[in-house]
Structure 1
Amino acid sequence: MPTELEELVEFLHSPQHAVKQIALDNLVQFSPANANPKLFAYDNYRPIKDLKEIALKRPETTTTIMVGHAVTILANLCSDTEMRRLITEDDAFIQFVASSIIDLTNRNADLFCILLANMAKLDYITRIFDMDISGVSKDDAFTSSNIMDCLMDCFVKGADRSLNVNANFDYLAYFFADISRFKHGRDYFVTEQDYDNVVPISKLLVFTEKYDSKVRREGVASTIKNSLFDTEKHMKLLTDEAINLLPYILLPIAGSEELDEEEMFNLPEELQLLPADKKREPISDIIAVHLESLLLLCVTREVRELLREKSVYPLIRELHKVTKDELVAELCDRLVQMLMRDEAPTTQEVDAMNSDESDDDEDRIVEVA
């Protein structure tokens, strides 16, 4: 005999609108925390297909509430590896989910953002970079027809609900963080885009101190960190005035501590003379991500020297004094080791020293016994 939950899952396939609605109303509160996701593996995972069909919202058979429930269940089911694969490895569904976010009349846009973020755990999601808007009229808010560009614009321009009164697009931050784990994603964020001649990562930096949205701060911090795994772009990200990455990593970890005058005026301009009520990022895990970004930047000597010039060490020193978090303290220690250690001579310096030694050898008189 099937259980009540098993019967509800089977009802998702019912041709009757009312039956599907009853099933969704009940199932949305059960998956996945207090129900076994394997319930949705019934009949070779047919419920996954049913939920996708409901999410596609054919007006004659589906309501906005039903779509919201279906998308919520799909987002939760992404916690199961196989179900996430079945949900994600579907080009048409990826395009539909992204286009639903870009549809500025969509009342469920934020739920679709959560679903897209959960789908981005798989590298298959990088196919989104080759997709254009489909089935949605291009709003004046978008100057590109490329879906990824439009998602960026939603996130940047829509934070105050000015694009869609029903959505703030915050959870796109987690989508960006996950897709930047993959090479194609990292390349996108650190490469100037043709449609607006802007490097995408530069659009996200302002949100590192958006204190009314933990999701944005956390997702953007992780996107920055992941974008730094390819070292060849580090100096451009730090020295290009149109990007100016360093202050946006340092500001969240800086408090109101007083530095001496020399340390203060070596800091990036944005960190000089901070107000007495300057708040440090309140969440230790987010501070840790910024510290990890600094460690990634320390990979090359050229950047380490730049970080020393910009008084990064005094900020780390002051953070270490006040932190009570073990991971933050450990990362501070590692950064101090990287920034305060003596550097080995460069190849050019070694060549110069060898040249000097060679000259000495030539001048030396060899005594004959």
Structure 2
Amino acid sequence: MASEMEELVEFLSSPSHPVKKAAVDIVRGLTGSEDGLQSLGTHAKILLPSLIRLLSENKGVSEPAAEALVNLSQNSNMAEKMVSLGVVKTTIDILYKPDSAIAKLLVMLLVNLTQTDAGIASLLQIKEEKVQGLYLMKLVRSFCRSTNDTRDDPFEHVSSILMNLSKSEEGRKIILDPKRALLKQIIRQFDCNSPIRKKGVSGTIRNCCFEAESQLQNLLLISEFLWPVLLLPVAGNKVVSNILILITTFIIFSLICCEGNYLNL
């Protein structure tokens, strides 16, 4: 006989909309507690594909499904299982539908997924040479176009995705690619009112500085955009963030040092 949890998970695939809606609401509630997450985790094989499918339903069903996936993806093992099920492609496809009503939740899901190596590789499309970086380019475009001065900015957390991606060598390579000009676009978003955007952009710049020696020429190409950002205070006119001081140090060191030859000051 099926357990109550097994029955609940099976109801997610019910042809009856009210039943499906009730089931996904309960699942969302369970993901709000540690005990609930553990119980659901034992049924991940059936649970995750069902929740991912529900992302394409109307908002009444897709929203709680997305919230459940966001909560579940905080566990790296669950996040990796989602990635193996193709959730990154599904998320991007739904995110860019004209009638997408859960954009912010989908972006938050990508934030959690890109905290895993598998999630980073999937979002960067590492195995798809012809379209490598396409998802990232779309996200950056949306990030730069969205209104960042409103409370409900659906793409502000793209800054966190960028920071996660820039922790990987592949991510830094794509972000610093001069033909894509992604870093130039990203830097311009530092001058906004959103602390989430500021933190993500500064973190992305910091991570990209680890490629300073090999990417020095590319960094110099955007120096006119980079230096103003590095000199901007993060909180008011008097308080300068320690992280920006660190970033500036990295850049200055790279600019005055090339192939081990130091300038004499």
Common fold, TM-score beyond 0.5? yes
**Structure-2 change in CA distance of 1:4 and 1:242 (3 Å):** same
Tell me the residue number matched to 1:122: 116
1:27 equivalent to 2:24? Answer: no
Distance 1:44 1:348, change over 3 A: closer
Question: Could you tell me how far 1:245 is from its partner in structure 2?
Answer: 1.1
Matched, 1:156 2:150: no
Among candidates 209, 217, 235, match of residue 191 of structure 2: 209
Partner of 1:74: 69
Give the structure 2 partner of residue 293 of structure 1: 247
Identify if the C-alpha distance between structure 1 residues 76 and 191 changes in structure 2 by more than 3 Å, giving closer, same or farther: same
What's the offset of the Cα at 1:37?
1.3
Q: Does 1:244 align with 2:225?
A: yes
Q: Specify which of 70, 81, 105 is matched with residue 86 of structure 1.
A: 81
Letter in 2 for 1:103: K
User: Quick one: higher RCO (CA 8 Å, sep 6+), 1 or 2?
Assistant: 2
Instruction: Return the alpha-carbon distance in structure 2 between the equivalents of residues 126 and 96 of structure 1.
Output: 15
* Match runs of 1:156-175 below 5 Å: 156-159=144-147, 168-175=154-161
Matched residue, 1:188: 174
Task: Letter of the 2:202 partner, please give it.
Answer: A
C-alpha contact 1:40 1:48 (8 A) present in aligned 2: no
3-state DSSP class of the match of 2:29? coil
**Cα RMSD after superposing both structures:** 3.5
- Unaligned runs of 5+ residues in structure 2 are none
Distance 1:64 1:233, change over 3 A: same
How many residues align? The count is 257
How far 1:182 sits from its partner (Å)? 0.8
For each residue in 1:262-289, what CA deviation from the matched residue of structure 2 results, as whole angstroms up to 9, or x when unmatched?
A: xxxxxxxxxxxxxxxx3646xxxxx233
Kindly provide the amino acid, as one letter, of the partner of residue 128 in structure 1: L
Asked whether the 8 Å contact 1:231–1:299 carries over to 2, the reply is: no
Cα shift at 1:220: 1.1
Shift of 1:83: 0.6
8 Å contact kept, 2:83–2:113: yes
CA distance in structure 2 between the aligned counterparts of 1:348 and 1:176, rounded to whole angstroms: 33
TM-score (norm 1): 0.60
Kept in 1, the 8 Å contact 2:159–2:201? The answer is yes
Cα distance in 1 for partners of 2:13, 2:38 equals 17
Cα distance, 1:160 vs structure 2: 5.2
Q: Could you say which residue in structure 2 is the equivalent of 1:310? A: none
Residue 214 of structure 1: how far off its partner (Å): 1.7
Residue 59 of structure 2: aligned partner: 64
Q: Letter of the aligned partner of 1:187 in structure 2?
A: K
SS at match of 2:213: helix
Q: Residue 12 of structure 2 contacts residue 51 of structure 2 at CA under 8 Å; is this kept in 1?
A: yes
Secondary structure at the counterpart of residue 94 of structure 2 = helix
Provide the TM-score with structure 2 as the length reference. Answer: 0.81
| Contact 1:235 1:303 (C-alpha < 8 Å) held by counterparts | no
In structure 2, relative to structure 1, the CA distance for the partners of 1:253 and 1:72 (3 Å cut) is closer
Letter paired with 1:39: S
Closer, same or farther: CA 205–33 of 1 in aligned 2, 3 Å: farther
Q: Distance in 2 between matches of 1:104 and 1:150?
A: 14
**1:293 positional shift:** 1.8
The reply to whether residue 231 of structure 1 matches residue 212 of structure 2 is yes
Larger Rg: 1
The offset of 1:238, in angstroms, is: 5.3
Residue of structure 2 in register with 1:11 after alignment = 11
Q: CA deviation at 1:66?
A: 0.7
Q: Is residue 98 of structure 2 the alignment partner of residue 99 of structure 1?
A: no
Taking structure 1 as reference, are residues 51 and 202 closer, same or farther at Cα in structure 2, changes over 3 Å only? Answer: same
Q: Which amino acid aligns with 2:228?
A: P
User: How high is the sequence identity, in percent, across the aligned residues?
Assistant: 21
Partner Cα distance (1:79, 1:229) in 2? 27
- CA distance in 2 between counterparts of 1:302 and 1:200 reads 25
Give the Å deviation of 1:52: 1.1
Conserved 8 A contact 2:63-2:102: yes
- Which residue of structure 2 aligns with residue 47 of structure 1? 47
Q: 1 CA distance for matches of 2:188 and 2:31?
A: 35
